[in-house]
């Protein structure tokens, strides 16, 4: 029976050629075929199971478990606090805030946007275009100020 090449052997075992090469460096008889490799792997697996866990490793694992449990408890507590704030109305979602701002300030924004056209003739009947430019510049400053306040740049 022909011994499969390393690519075929790697594919059959479901590993890369690199893994097969690393096993060979550890003493795996890859040149002897699939059966020999499977026997070697089984022996390696039983070696790993037979190694005892040292007391210091156990203590370390216990300490890590306790830390993870404490962090889990803290996270659950914070989540419960946030859920309570949402239920009592102390905390609301960003989409709700945006919706309220559109509802409250939408009319103000619309009014400001039409201001130059509405007031240009009243402010300067002799030169309404000049008045429109001045009012437009003022409106732009108001919107810029509002944006910087919203972004927290005030």
Residues 39, 58 share a domain: no
Q: How would you label 2-25 residue by residue, b for 16+ Cβ within 10 Å and e otherwise?
A: eeeeeeebbeebeeeeeebeebee
Q: Based on the structure, what is the number of domains in the chain?
A: 3
Q: Within 10 Å of residue 88's Cβ, how many Cβ atoms? A: 8
* pLDDT for 53: 56
Residues 61, 38 share a domain: no
Q: Is residue 61 a part of any domain in this protein? A: yes
**pLDDT tens, position by position, 54-67:** 667 777 888 888 89
Q: Is residue 11 a part of any domain in this protein? A: yes
pLDDT at residue 7 greater than cutoff 80: yes
User: How confident is the prediction for the chain on average, in pLDDT?
Assistant: 82
pLDDT at residue 152 greater than cutoff 80: no
Residues 135, 87 share a domain: no
What value does the mean pLDDT take over residues 8-19? 87
User: The dihedral of CA 73, 78, 83, 85: what is its sign?
Assistant: positive
Domain of 111 in residue numbering reads as 94-150
């Amino acid at each position: 029976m022909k011994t499969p090449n390393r690519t075929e052997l790697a594919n059959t075992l479901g590993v890369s050629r690199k893994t097969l090469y690393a096993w060979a460096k550890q003493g795996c008889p890859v040149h002897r075929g699939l059966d020999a490799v499977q026997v070697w792997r089984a022996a390696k697996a039983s070696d790993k199971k037979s190694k005892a866990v040292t007391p210091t490793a156990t203590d370390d694992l216990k300490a890590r478990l306790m830390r993870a449990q404490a962090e889990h408890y803290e996270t659950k507590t914070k989540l419960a606090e946030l859920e309570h704030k949402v239920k009592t109305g102390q905390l609301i979602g960003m989409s709700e805030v945006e919706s309220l701002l559109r509802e409250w300030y939408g009319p103000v924004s619309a009014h400001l946007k039409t201001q130059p056209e509405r007031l240009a003739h009243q402010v300067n009947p002799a030169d309404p275009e000049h008045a429109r430019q001045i009012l437009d510049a003022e409106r732009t400053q108001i919107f810029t100020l509002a944006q910087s306040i919203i972004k927290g740049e005030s």
